[in-house]
Amino acid sequence: MTIGIGLLGLGTVGAGVASILASPEGRHPLVAALRLQRVAVRDLNRSRPTSPPAELLTTDPEAVVDDPGVDIVVEVMGGLEPARTLILRAIAAGKPVVTANKAVIARHGEEIAAAAAAQGVYVLIEAAVGGGIPIIEPLKQSLGSNRIQRVSGIINGTTNYILSRMAAEGAAYADVLADAQRLGYAEADPAADVQGGDAADKIAILTRLAYGGTVPRGAIPTEGIDQLEARDVAYAARLGFVVKLLAVAQLMEAEGEHASSDHPLLDVRVHPTLVPSTHPLAGVNGVNNAILVEGDPVGQVMFYGPGAGAGPTASAVVADILNIAGIRQATGGSGGSLDPLLAAGSWRTCSLVEGSLTTHRNYVRLRTRDEAGVIGKIGTCFGEAGVSIQSIVQFAAQDQDGGDADAEIVVITHEVLEANFRRALARIEALPEVESVAACLRTL
Ligand code: NDP
Ligand code: HSE
């Protein structure tokens, strides 16, 4: 049985998928049953290193979805529209969809899942998180018996590539970002990578799979690496840390009027984080991603591998196509009824915890006057707010900084309540010896 593939997009990921389909030798035999039927692009005249036959290409993506020879629609065009409408159009036509588009799934996942369930078709998204790393299917299936306590990790390849090269080579931010774009790692608008939005899309998706319910995407506290100063990366290194952009989804202790096992309260966030250099995430460099899943009873499971780029992402896309192709083959083309694990619908309501109730370790850099008693006053502000300090170090302020400060004081706290930490910072900022709170980062 041959299965027709309609490809929406022939950029980094689409070209990677086309290349796998064009060379089935040595792969699973089902790959040979997949036939590229139609391909939508924006510009027919764009020069492409390799391309399917010209007669397969069209600038009309609806024609791809509607083509009667297309059995599975693969959306790798990116963006919210027309991607969302095309996915819904495919579902309405009873065609399963494979997509790598985390932006559309993080924002319209519930609408798409409801439409897919109503039509009895699969929408599979393995490539949307972690590039070539299998993480979606493990969360849906292999780890399904667990109560998940925490999902955390490095889930944006572009920013990890930038941070790794800045730390290893002292490379300039703009140059490394340009390299990440050239290598096909970055989003069409790289602001999504460097401002943390792409990681927030991905942790929203992982949260739904790990905890069985959607959290509002727009309410996830998100901080990227675009405001990160090289000086904090350097101070972090001197204190035994590396800086990584981490995404975290964590189950809170059942507290509050709504929290229960039917309605879990979650702490979900994305931010640059100081990671101890001995921690397994500290050694995840370049475009690699790593996701740590902590569950009961499994304990800790770590998923590691290339998080972006044509080959790894296409590997995940084609794996999803094969899942659907396998089911079609087993059911003689009908697809049968939906497997609830593979379809992965939501089964409870989740809420985000209020930020002030969360607890963290923190790194703070203060610009201050270099006088007797300053460290004592800062320590008192922290102490009176119930914030315990793990270490406090003074560095000389650099000449080019301007302002009156002649010292920089870096404080690392123990794990403390966010509300207490903010209260301490407000009091410290008001001290006449303190010019500014120059940086504030989380610490693992
Ligand atoms: P690209 O920008 O490289 O490719 C997009 C493709 O879609 C291009 O071929 C473009 O046509 C086509 N396209 C865009 N809009 C339209 C339209 N309106 N009509 C017809 N064709 C259109 O993106 P990527 O391949 O990098 O990413 C694709 C998706 O995969 C995104 O959702 C991205 O977030 C996701 N993803 C990307 C990864 C990566 O490493 N790059 C990793 C994981 C997920 P043309 O070629 O003519 O410009
Ligand atoms: N821009 C994304 C990243 C692509 O760098 O991780 C993979 O999702």
Q: Provide Rg for the chain, Cα atoms.
A: 24
Distance between Cα 391 and ligand 2 center (Å): 35
Distance between Cα 53 and ligand 1 center (Å): 19
Residues contacting ligand 2 via CB (< 6 Å): 131, 156-158, 185-187, 193, 198, 307-308
The pTM score is 0.96
pLDDT level of residue 397 (50, 70, 90 thresholds): confident
φ and ψ at residue 133, rounded to 5 degrees: -80, 125
pLDDT level of residue 242 (50, 70, 90 thresholds): very high
Convert the pLDDT of each residue in 333-355 to its tens digit. Answer: 888 899 999 999 999 999 999 99
pLDDT tops 60 at residue 403: yes
Ligand nearest to the CA of 157: 2
Which whole number is the average pLDDT over 421-430? Answer: 98
Convert the pLDDT of each residue in 245-290 to its tens digit. Answer: 999 999 997 655 555 788 999 999 999 999 999 999 999 999 999 9
pLDDT level of residue 401 (50, 70, 90 thresholds): low
pLDDT of residue 335: 80
pLDDT of residue 332: 86
Average pLDDT value over all residues in the chain: 95
pLDDT level of residue 68 (50, 70, 90 thresholds): very high
- Ligand 2 pocket check: which of 12, 181, 198, 203 to mutate, most ligand atoms within 8 Å of Cβ? 198
pLDDT of residue 299: 98
Among candidates 278, 208, 280, 210, which has minimal Cα distance to 246? 280
pLDDT tops 60 at residue 134: yes
Convert the pLDDT of each residue in 411-425 to its tens digit. Answer: 999 999 999 999 999
Ligand nearest to the CA of 161: 2
Which whole number is the average pLDDT over 387-396? Answer: 95
pLDDT of residue 414: 98
**Count of other CB atoms within 10 angstroms of residue 50:** 9
Catalytic residue set: 202
pLDDT of residue 254: 64
Is residue 327 within 8 A of residue 389, CB to CB? The reply is no
pLDDT level of residue 173 (50, 70, 90 thresholds): confident
Q: Where is pLDDT greater, at 123 or 51? A: 123
Kindly provide the b/e burial profile for residues 224-260, where b requires at least 16 CB atoms within 10 angstroms of the residue's own CB. Answer: bbbebeebbbebbeebebbbbbbbbbbbbeeeeeebe
pLDDT of residue 402: 63
pLDDT of residue 258: 57
Distance between Cα 245 and ligand 1 center (Å): 24
φ and ψ at residue 30, rounded to 5 degrees: -65, -25
Atom of ligand 1 nearest to the CA of 41: 21
Residues contacting ligand 1 via CB (< 6 Å): 9-14, 40-43, 46, 61, 76-78, 82, 100-102, 127, 131, 184-185, 187-188, 308-309, 313
Which whole number is the average pLDDT over 2-23? Answer: 98
Domains of the chain: 3-131+310-343 (3.40.50.720), 136-306 (3.30.360.10), 358-443 (3.30.70.260)
pLDDT tops 90 at residue 189: yes
Which whole number is the average pLDDT over 103-131? Answer: 97
pLDDT level of residue 363 (50, 70, 90 thresholds): very high
